[in-house]
């Protein structure tokens, strides 16, 4: 069967996450229903990352096998037609070899977390950023974030119910920078634990508020205990922006 790689963006607000679940609508199920309408049979769509409920994507990647070939430039148009009016868009489709796997062939992932840091409540960014009215020290947050870069046991920054076999992860980059009222946190690594990015951002907020220091971040990491880390940032500020393949 011909295999296709899809690059997808979506607003995560209406969904229980990427993965198909019984308790509500998912991005995966919506795309699979669209594909069924196109080819007349169910085809599983395999995603590169299982984003949580409320988490968005600018560059999610998935693959699927179709019973018959279709021109790659026509596949996004067909899927996008059938997923309307849901906030999902297939940006691009590419024909790939049968050994390509959206998840297991990936060599890196990049996430963006957006914090709107101003006194005025959100209007345009409501549901798409974390609103923090108290002024945050973004430079202190960036300096403290460097304590987490590298290969570490991230037990203190993963969900207590995370099912990953190992808490060891390689974090290549954790950058905090301000652009006006918006603080952007960019995280790059091979893969991430459940809630890892949101837990790191929630903990860095403590640094931005002056409640924690870089040394506190280091101690939390060394503790290898979720209770030692800071709170979990809400999902609406998180975006999967890129999946890299070497």
The CATH number of residue 156's host domain is 3.30.70.660
Let me know if residue 153 belongs to a domain. yes
**Cα(66)–Cα(72) distance, integer angstroms:** 12
Q: Kindly state the tokens that stand for 141.
A: 């947050």
Q: Write down the pTM of the prediction.
A: 0.95
Domain final residue, candidates 66, 96, 126: 96
Let me know if residue 102 belongs to a domain. no
**Cα(240)–Cα(238) distance, integer angstroms:** 7
The answer to whether residue 11 is catalytic is: no
Domain final residue, candidates 45, 66, 96: 96
- Please check whether residues 221 and 145 belong to one and the same domain: yes
pLDDT at 35: 97
pLDDT at 161: 86
Domain final residue, candidates 55, 76, 96: 96
Q: What averages of pLDDT result for each successive group of 10 residues across the chain (246 residues)?
A: 97 96 94 96 94 96 96 97 98 97 97 98 96 98 98 96 92 98 97 97 98 98 97 98 96
CATH number, position 54: 3.30.70.580
Domain that holds residue 234: 108-244
Question: Where does the chain have alpha helices with state H?
Answer: 27-39, 75-83, 138-145, 196-208, 214-223
- Please check whether residues 91 and 114 belong to one and the same domain: no
- Please check whether residues 150 and 237 belong to one and the same domain: yes
The strand pairing partners of 52, in sequence order, are 17
The strand pairing partners of 88, in sequence order, are 10
- Please check whether residues 130 and 51 belong to one and the same domain: no
pLDDT at 163: 85
Q: Helix 27-39 to helix 75-83 angle, to the nearest 10 degrees?
A: 120
Which of 11, 52, 99, 137 is labelled catalytic?
Answer: 52
Domains contained in the chain, number: 2
Q: Considering only CA atoms, which of 65, 16, 73, 6 is closest in space to residue 41?
A: 65
């Amino acid at each position: 069967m011909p295999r296709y790689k899809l690059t997808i963006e979506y607003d995560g607000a209406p969904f229980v996450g990427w993965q198909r679940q019984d308790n509500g609508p998912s991005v995966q199920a919506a795309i699979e229903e669209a594909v069924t309408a196109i080819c007349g049979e169910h085809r599983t769509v395999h995603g590169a990352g299982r984003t949580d409920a409320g988490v968005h994507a600018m560059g999610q990647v998935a693959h699927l096998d179709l019973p018959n070939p279709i021109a790659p430039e026509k596949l996004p148009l067909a899927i996008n037609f059938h997923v309307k009016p849901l906030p999902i868009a297939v940006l691009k489709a590419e024909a790939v070899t049968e050994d390509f796997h959206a998840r297991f062939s990936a060599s890196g992932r990049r996430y963006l977390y957006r914090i709107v840091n101003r006194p005025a409540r959100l209007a345009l960014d409501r549901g798409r950023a974390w609103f923090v009215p108290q002024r945050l020290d973004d430079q202190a947050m960036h300096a403290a974030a460097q304590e987490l870069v590298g290969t570490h046991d991230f037990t203190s920054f993963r969900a207590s119910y995370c099912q990953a076999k190992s808490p060891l992860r390689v974090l290549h980059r954790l950058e905090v920078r301000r652009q006006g009222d918006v603080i952007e946190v960019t995280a790059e690594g091979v893969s991430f634990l459940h809630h890892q990015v949101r837990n790191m951002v929630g903990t860095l907020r403590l640094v931005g508020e002056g409640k924690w220091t870089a040394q506190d971040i280091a101690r939390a990491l060394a503790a290898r205990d979720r209770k030692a880390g800071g709170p979990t940032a809400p999902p609406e500020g998180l975006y999967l922006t890129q999946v890299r393949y070497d």
